[in-house]
């Protein structure tokens, strides 16, 4: 398990992200959000995914020779993320598969999670990433 | 199938998104990206997902009583997205399940896609969204 570090979620960033990419009152309007199901402003799930990715890119992908990703098998938003929450990321390799056609490449399948300051998992994903392999 | 409209992808927005949420040279540095596998700057896959979500929130979720989403079953990045690409979104309902515990709610499972100006699918996802049901 790799610890990826922490990020603090702010209300201005929640609103800014959502105005661009998920413009719904529960993510953009603190007053309106109080009357909505979560009882207050919550981050777009795509924003939380972006915050995970910020940590994962910085701590993992930029330290290897990342060749991109074909996608995500599963992406779950398990709890709401609110202004002031401090999220920490972690990542665990599930399996590693050398390319069948190019011996210089391989694919890593791994599980990423974001946890809040109460230790609750707020986001979980399972993704595949392609890498250049180290020379043997 | 619901058509969700179009969005043009610009180089400044690709770089701005990636500096915040996916800071890797293939997404942030046009000169460095020329020597990387995709031969030029490409959008973060999370940025493309955000652009889909912008269309989906505006055209679908904000026209219903959206109650949030538990997650995405599958998220695939099928082709690179480059500056100047014009993406259009579409969405298809796969199935609708009334809540087993609350007759005022239900869950819609649907497939979303983004296609580029050549008609190629660049992103596909299958997501679940909770909604308030219309009174019968």
Residue A44 has pLDDT above 80, yes or no: yes
Tokens of B124: 């596909």
- How many percent of chain B have pLDDT more than 70? 99
Residues in chain A whose Cβ is within 8 Å of chain B = 20-24, 26, 37-38, 44-46, 49-51, 53-54, 57-58, 61-62, 66-77
For the cut 90, the answer to whether the pLDDT of residue A134 exceeds it is no
Is pLDDT of B136 > 70?
Answer: no
C-beta atoms of B70 and A57 within 8 A: no
pLDDT exceeds cutoff 60 at B109: yes
Would you state the structure tokens that stand for residue B115, as one six-digit string?
């296609």
Each residue of B8-24: pLDDT tens digit?
999 999 999 999 999 99
Q: Is the pLDDT of residue B135 over 80?
A: no
A47-64 confidence digits (pLDDT tens): 999 999 999 999 999 888
List Cα–Cα distances, B10 to A9, A22, A125, B86, B87, in angstroms: 27, 18, 28, 9, 11
């Amino acid at each position: 398990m790799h610890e990826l570090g922490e990020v603090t979620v702010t209300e201005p960033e929640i609103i800014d992200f959502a105005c661009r990419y998920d413009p719904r009152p529960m993510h953009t309007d603190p007053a309106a959000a109080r009357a909505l199901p979560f009882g207050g402003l919550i981050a777009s799930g795509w924003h939380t995914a972006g915050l995970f990715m910020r940590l994962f890119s910085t701590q993992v992908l930029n330290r290897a020779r990342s060749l991109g990703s074909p996608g995500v098998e599963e992406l779950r938003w398990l709890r709401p993320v609110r202004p002031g929450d401090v999220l920490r990321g972690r990542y665990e390799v599930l399996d590693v598969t050398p390319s069948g056609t190019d011996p210089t490449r391989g694919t890593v399948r791994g599980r990423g999670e974001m946890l809040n300051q109460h230790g609750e998992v707020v986001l979980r994903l399972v993704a595949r990433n392609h890498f250049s392999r180290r020379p043997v």
